[in-house]
Amino acid sequence: MTSCKRLCAGALCALLLVLVGTPAAAAVGEAPPLTILFTHDTHDHFYPDAAGKGGYSRLSALLDEQRAEAASAGRAVVTVDGGDFSMGSLFQTIYASSAPELRALGAMGYDVTTLGNHEFDYRQRGLAEMLRTARACGDPLPALVQANYTTPLDAEAGQDLIQAMADYPVTDYVVLERQGLRIAVFGLLGLDAHDCAPMSGMAYQPIEAAARRVVAEIEAREQADYIICLSHSGTEDGKGEDYALAKAVDGIDVIISGHTHSTTLEPIQVNDTLIVSCGEYTQNLGVLTVSQTDGIVALADYRLLPIDRSSPSDPELEALTEAFQAEVDGSYLAAYGLAYDQVLCQASSDFTTPETGELIGDAYTAAIRRLEGPDAPPVDFAVAPAGVIRDVLRQGGVTTANAFDILSLGSGADGTPGYPLVSVYLTGSDLKNAFEVDASISGLMPAAALYGAGMTWTWNPHRMFLDRVTGCAQLLPDGGTAEIQPDRLYRVVADLYSGQMLGAVESQSMGLLSVTPRDEAGAPVTDLEDCIVKDDGGGEVKAWYALASYLEEQETVSPGGSRKVMAASWSPLALLASPGPSTLAVLGALLLLLVLAVLLTVLIRRRKRQKRR
């Protein structure tokens, strides 16, 4: 939205105040209520999704509507975003060169945003370029706040980012003034978000320590009426990092909780702090109104406003989006011989995430075969964890944009958009450990669920944790299966990010499981970027393009049968057959307790006999 439009909107709000009169809530000497309009995890969703939800032009129109409503009621208004505004659609491909995300937030009138883990997907260099581009464009921009994630581990190599952050500027906090109120807003990035940014190269400061430092500074210097934290840390099932933050740190009035894509139907109150989330992908606009009496902050109203086909659109945001799309077509997709709205094939029905993941596995396998020829070492397992599958195929025409949305994350060693494929080797034992992660850990961490092509495994959810896989086999080209050999090396293809997260298996399994990527000779791989798959011209083979190319070869795609099978059983034989370390440990503990119980019983009986004598 242009500066002219913002001035017109401000004039309209002022006129409404004159016509309506100043409400009693805003009487002289009494602070007006504060309305916080908020989003988080918008992930480049300029357009509505296939279900007709979201989209920046609709969000922009709704923001204008809510600002006018708040102004007519005499409420102060701020508009904030909780980070991860990038990485989720083809618009991210011009992240560094055109900064469409920050420019769109500025056009929609956002006051402040923060950095999420995905703002580091293009590494320090990409973030630095984006900040410089945004600053140089001359468009309205939101303030950027970040208090615990601004220090590169390598100060010399990170000097470019340090300078770009200083020039934008990125600060610990900002203070907004609205109708006599002073509203301090600061930003944080949580531990899990840090773990999800393996290529950021940034030093992490715990959010509780950073929050205490910033809140103390605000209280000492700013005379703020409200303190708002934009925390890209998250809440899950009413708990999580932001819950712990609110419990540990006093003085924060509101936490806008991003990262976990959570939706809080009602604010979570922890001590004197309200925690709110509105969900991902611009599907909702969060509207929180708070009031203050004698320094005590109270909830006045809370709403989640859906953004769907019934929502009006902002023509100026539509025009801005179309201009950015033209840049995507010309500067990125043209090199692949594709266009944003080009239909690649037809999907016979809607796909689930597992079905989409297995299609991705087929696409990776086909990409390697196409590149290397039939005589090259075959791909034994092509895998796509749920965490990198950002969308699914839906019935009807599948476009280039759809294919990119599914595998939209990251960049490669070349700095260009999209994670590349990597080819590594795993032992059969490591493969089974990977399947065990899927069977045991994905229930606690859904992003760890594995889908793909070339392997099948069976699991029993009633068995002991980390000992749930009851069988696994390699799927052969002729339709048969072959038993997995523990010491044999199997070729595995995945995207770079998924390969880098293999190292997290050991920590997530409390040291009981490990998965070690190796080269074709069996030596451990120290740098996965050395394993990036490249085409004949030396360019990285991007995961999204492998999928798009595979879809383009098909006339129609349909969901297939699952390659992993849940075989739930409470049978003692099924629960105890071929016990692994965790089951043996529990059985050993039970046996020890039984022995101790027997010894204790014998001892008690002996003492009783002695007393009778």
Q: With cut-offs at 50, 70 and 90, classify the pLDDT of residue 30.
A: low
* Sequence-distant (≥ 6) Cβ neighbours of residue 210 within 8 angstroms: 147, 148, 188
pLDDT at 11 over 70: no
Give the mean model confidence (pLDDT) for residues 327-336.
96
Average pLDDT value over all residues in the chain? 91
Provide the pLDDT for residue 329.
97
pLDDT at 417 over 50: yes
Compute CA distances 280 → 39, 258, 262, 312, whole Å.
8, 9, 7, 20
**From 21-30, 137-146, 348-357, 591-600, the region with the lowest mean pLDDT:** 21-30
Give the mean model confidence (pLDDT) for residues 100-106.
98
* Sequence-distant (≥ 6) Cβ neighbours of residue 367 within 8 angstroms: 421, 533, 541, 546, 549, 550
pLDDT at 306 over 70: yes
Provide the pLDDT for residue 510.
63
Which residues is 231 bridged to in the sheet? 188, 257
Handedness of CA 407, 411, 413, 414 (dihedral sign): positive
Answer whether CATH 1.10.260.40 is correct for domain 3-13+38-315: no
Please name the residue ranges forming H helices in 158-200: 159-167, 191-195
pLDDT at 8 over 70: no
Q: What crossing angle do the helices spanning 315-331 and 56-72 adopt, rounded to 10°?
A: 150
Q: Give the helix/strand (H/E) hosting 257.
A: strand 254-257
Provide the pLDDT for residue 27.
40
Give the mean model confidence (pLDDT) for residues 13-27.
38
Q: With cut-offs at 50, 70 and 90, classify the pLDDT of residue 17.
A: very low
- Residue 60's SS3 state is helix
Please name the residue ranges forming H helices in 483-570: 496-500, 504-508, 543-553
CATH code for the structural domain at 340-566: 3.90.780.10
Q: With cut-offs at 50, 70 and 90, classify the pLDDT of residue 588.
A: confident
DSSP label at 193? H
Please name the residue ranges forming H helices in 233-304: 241-248
pTM metric for this prediction: 0.85
Per-residue pLDDT of 481-518, as tens digits, reads: 999 999 999 999 999 998 887 766 666 666 667 889 99
Q: With cut-offs at 50, 70 and 90, classify the pLDDT of residue 362.
A: very high
| Cβ count within 10 A of residue 13 | 17
Provide the pLDDT for residue 13.
41
Per-residue pLDDT of 225-239, as tens digits, reads: 999 999 999 998 889
* Sequence-distant (≥ 6) Cβ neighbours of residue 163 within 8 angstroms: 128
Alpha-carbon dihedral 600, 606, 608, 609, rounded to 10 degrees: 160
pLDDT at 296 over 70: yes
Q: With cut-offs at 50, 70 and 90, classify the pLDDT of residue 594.
A: confident
Per-residue pLDDT of 117-129, as tens digits, reads: 999 999 999 999 9
Per-residue pLDDT of 385-412, as tens digits, reads: 999 999 999 999 999 999 999 999 988 9
Compute CA distances 582 → 144, 439, 464, 512, whole Å.
47, 14, 7, 8
Provide the pLDDT for residue 14.
39
Gap between the Cα atoms of 246 and 229, Å rounded: 10
Gap between the Cα atoms of 484 and 474, Å rounded: 6
Per-residue pLDDT of 186-199, as tens digits, reads: 999 999 999 999 88
| Cβ count within 10 A of residue 566 | 11
Question: Which tokens belong to 567?
Answer: 């075989």
Give the mean model confidence (pLDDT) for residues 135-139.
96
Give the mean model confidence (pLDDT) for residues 430-435.
93
Per-residue pLDDT of 537-585, as tens digits, reads: 999 999 999 999 999 999 999 998 789 999 999 999 889 988 887 787 7
Give the mean model confidence (pLDDT) for residues 331-356.
96
Of 464, 494, 472, give the one whose Cα is nearest residue 564.
472
pLDDT at 18 over 90: no
Every domain of the chain and the residues it spans? 3-13+38-315, 340-566, 578-608
